[in-house]
Structure 1
């Protein structure tokens, strides 16, 4: 892929669809907790955690929308290229199996 293709892919991602997907999962978690179905809430949390839509929205939030996006991180970088954003999504996808979440209260 060329640099232009990465930027086109990023800009043409269906952000509205991603938001709708994540919101729907969040609403289902809320309803499960409200009725006391902790097992279902936990399954839905795992689903949202492994969701491609949630990862893409999280990366977009941190790299584009946050006010601290121009502040250098611990690695000294101020922003990520489009290619680096996709590499980050791939790395997050790879390591979601290793992640240990905190239990519900």
Structure 2
């Protein structure tokens, strides 16, 4: 890889996953959520919808969503129909940057689990893909 290609690849990724200031991201998305709540209390529907759209597009909200799904949640090692379960740092960044919240959800994986108290009967459980969970 030449030096110009290396510089181009570094420009796309502004920071590494481990170097992200999570507290800052949480604060900024919480402030936006607070503004949405205030607009809804004042019955300002137009402002509320604009702020909701802004929250959906915000990088901080997407990063936090990916972090919750891939690191914090109990089902982080459960693979959906796409087969992805454990993501490394680079894959997490790619997922956060490529999330499209306007698209349709992908099909869920159906797993049959035993019903509580009735070990012979089973019920279906739908497991969505990691991108749909985020």
Same fold judged by TM-score > 0.5? Answer: yes
CA offsets, 1:32-64, max 9 Å, x none?
000100100000001101000000000000000
Higher relative CO (Cα under 8 Å, sequence separation at least 6) belongs to 1
- Answering whether residue 84 of structure 2 is matched by residue 59 of structure 1, we say no
1:36 partner SS: coil
Q: Aligned match of 1:45 in 49, 52, 75?
A: 52
CA RMSD in angstroms, aligned pairs only: 1.9
Match of 2:22 in 1: 15
* Structure 1 or 2: more helix by fraction: 1
C-alpha deviation, 1:72, in angstroms: 1.9
C-alpha deviation, 1:77, in angstroms: 2.4
C-alpha deviation, 1:70, in angstroms: 1.4
Greater Rg, structure 1 or structure 2? 2
Q: After TM superposition, what 4+ stretches of structure 1 lie above 2 angstroms from structure 2?
A: none
Unpaired segments of 5 or more residues in structure 1?
Answer: 101-105
Unpaired segments of 5 or more residues in structure 2?
Answer: 1-5, 7-12, 104-134
Match of 2:33 in 1: 26
C-alpha deviation, 1:76, in angstroms: 2.0
Q: What is the aligned residue count?
A: 91
